[in-house]
Amino acid sequence: MAITIKDIAKRANVSTATVSRVINGIGGYGSDTRNRVLAAAQELGYYKNETATSLVTNKTKTIGIIIPNVSTSFYGNIVTGIEDVAYDFGYSVILTHAGVEGNRLFDSLKLMVNRRVDGIIIVSIYLNKEQQQMIRKLGVPTILLSTISEGNRLPYIKVDDYAASYHATQYLVNQGHQKIGLAGVNQNDQVAGQPRLAGYRDCLEKNQILRDEALIFFGDFSFDAGKRAMDYYMTHELPTALVCASDDTALGIISMAHQYKILVPEQLSVIGYDDTSVAWMTTPPLTTIAQPFYEMGALGCKRLIESVTTNQEIRSEIIPFELMERQTVLQRSNNPKS
Amino acid sequence: MAITIKDIAKRANVSTATVSRVINGIGGYGSDTRNRVLAAAQELGYYKNETATSLVTNKTKTIGIIIPNVSTSFYGNIVTGIEDVAYDFGYSVILTHAGVEGNRLFDSLKLMVNRRVDGIIIVSIYLNKEQQQMIRKLGVPTILLSTISEGNRLPYIKVDDYAASYHATQYLVNQGHQKIGLAGVNQNDQVAGQPRLAGYRDCLEKNQILRDEALIFFGDFSFDAGKRAMDYYMTHELPTALVCASDDTALGIISMAHQYKILVPEQLSVIGYDDTSVAWMTTPPLTTIAQPFYEMGALGCKRLIESVTTNQEIRSEIIPFELMERQTVLQRSNNPKS
DNA sequence: TTGTAAGCGTTATCAT
DNA sequence: ATGATAACGCTTACAA
């Protein structure tokens, strides 16, 4: 079977305790024994059994990620961020996706606890009161990324969706738009949908632009939602600018606009949300609200590990968004004031 | 501390052995004891400590994924595929990225071994002889996804890059193109670059189209490589159609073509590779070679777990690609024979 | 500086 | 059907 510290101990003529010490660099041994042990380990091709270590130290140096699905580049960046800092701190990352609707969430949590992860990161899954309480009862440090829990009892890191949506809308207003639509947000979604809807509405109101509910088309943040939205606008009332729920939705809009021979941005300005890689790779490149996914993952992981090691509670943080001005919004100079 | 089977044993008036039996559903106990134990576990809020189990069973029910970086939707789909079947088999997935150049590969492997994963999946990292040998020495079942190892000693699942490239080129030929370029492949890349170059060249040769090295622009599969390629073609010789190293590269081409006022596909046909989400979301949607990423992940994981449980060697497999005809290649009917 | 030995939470063998 | 108990590979008092 695999080499153990016993084998090393034998070969180096020391006790297993000493082997353990030098392997962990604890100190308390002569430099010659140190060398003997290291040499023996080397020669035998020793790999430490971390599961044994975990059992006695009651730490796994592992953090668990629960994510709706990993397929979007969106999540990929978050995971990369997490993994990078985990790596720096000597932690491993165990990943599970909880299904689109967050079913499997319970299973995922159970898995994490069974594996005795030191901390849990939950990405983009809204937690209701029951789930929130269950998680707190687990006693495992947990942080939410790009989502919140009912009552906000669990620490989170996310962008201010309300402010971002407001900002996007205001940007459009500043370019002279009066007829501004909102496409693709899910109004049942407390995390992103509702705040963005509110930000959009409040901005229009503040700018004394009359509210036109017909300019709002709800959806599920998808590409297809964008396509359906555009269909809808064509048969109802076409805005001059559109705040979209996501980059995917924005691209759906653009795709359909193309079919209807509506020029973007000349006839229709479009602003996305997320700044996924599609945003800058598409032609014309998409003006969008950038969420710092990588940073979110990295910061979240950092905070979590800090909490694991210091036992301090994690404080929620709002992380800044950024408007990426590209080419799907008509610039003011060319824009006919309505 | 956390609840252990001892606690349950005490409360249910049985031995820990019995608790273990019922928890694992081994059989060999009365249904009343079973109920008592289960009830006790429930009441105490017991979570099994899998690290302890791993220590004695010498199995972790964990498989490790090593991936260059998780950021591309590309990898996200593979990971999702892996995770889905891992979940079905009751396995967890531990993830690490090995850096773009596969530096950190050694560290990643070491981490996997230390954690005593039951199997390893390496994605998109070419393994040289030394690395290949090291991995075999590890004695951990390993499978390669979308890559190979020097000498092909490690089992892999991938698309036939040569055939795919040949197919893409032939498709362009069939549409009447004679001046066909190749953009963005890395000729030092033995996994994807070289076979695709060969497929492209052989196809042209078979069709008796004279070879024009000036139509080949090497790169690194990136968006930027596409942009540079287009710059190059504009100042040298513009083909009528382009086989691209990736969807990203194709989009770079299209982006730059737009700036040069070259119409796609009217003046320049473009075919991508991968069929990432950008491919179908962009306007016009990209004609491209689809690699079945999700399936690759799922199948790879399945084969690996089979191998873990049966101790059989994994057999390498070629998985089919598919040409997705969309709108960046001019159809024959409209295409002026040159 | 080094060794002895008790545990960590399970599983699994061997009795009963 | 159930219970003792010895492992599993490591860490960590406590001794020496």
Bridging pattern class, strands B156-158 and B180-183: unpaired
- Minimum CA–CA partner of A249 in chain B: B281
Is residue B31 within 8 angstroms of chain A, CB to CB? no
The answer to whether A172 and A329 have CB atoms below 8 angstroms apart is: yes
Euclidean distance between CA atoms B19 and A334, whole angstroms: 76
Enumerate the β-bridge partners of residue B182: B216, B243
pLDDT confidence band for B333 (50 / 70 / 90): low
Output phi, psi for A146, to 5 deg. 60, 30
From the list A176, A155, A163, the residue with the least C-alpha distance to A330 is A176
Find and list the nucleotides of strand D having atoms within 7 Å of a protein beta carbon.
1-5, 7-13
CB contact under 8 A, A80 and B70: yes
pLDDT in tens, B267-289: 999 999 999 999 999 999 999 99
CA dihedral A248, A252, A255, A259 (to 10 degrees): 180
Question: Taking phi first (over 0 means left), then psi (-120 to 50 degrees means alpha), and beta for anything else, what does residue A222 get?
Answer: beta
Is residue B43 within 8 angstroms of chain A, CB to CB? no
The answer on pLDDT for B12 being more than 70 is: yes
What pLDDT is attached to residue B335? 52
User: Which tokens go with A238?
Assistant: 């076409």
Least confident of A201-215, A305-319, B95-109, B166-180: B95-109
pLDDT in tens, B17-41: 999 999 999 988 999 999 999 999 9
Residues from chain B that touch A1, judged by Cβ atoms under 8 A, are 58
Mind listing the domains of chain A with CATH numbers? 5-48 (1.10.260.40), 57-159+292-320 (3.40.50.2300), 161-290 (3.40.50.2300)
Residues from chain A that touch B110, judged by Cβ atoms under 8 A, are 47
What pLDDT is attached to residue A99? 78
Partner-chain residue, chosen from A72, A87, A114, that has the shortest CB–CB distance to B47: A114
The answer to whether B132 and B150 have CB atoms below 8 angstroms apart is: yes
Partner-chain residue, chosen from A70, A92, A96, that has the shortest CB–CB distance to B115: A92
Is residue B76 within 8 angstroms of chain A, CB to CB? yes
Q: Which nucleotide is nearest to A9 (CA to C1')?
A: C3
pLDDT in tens, B81-133: 999 999 999 999 999 988 777 789 999 999 999 999 999 999 999 999 999 99
A residues 84-103 closer than 8 Å to B (CB): 84, 87, 92-97
Q: What mean pLDDT is predicted for residues B224-249?
A: 97
Find and list the nucleotides of strand C having atoms within 7 Å of a protein beta carbon.
1-5, 7-13
CB contact under 8 A, B111 and A92: yes
The answer to whether B19 and B9 have CB atoms below 8 angstroms apart is: yes
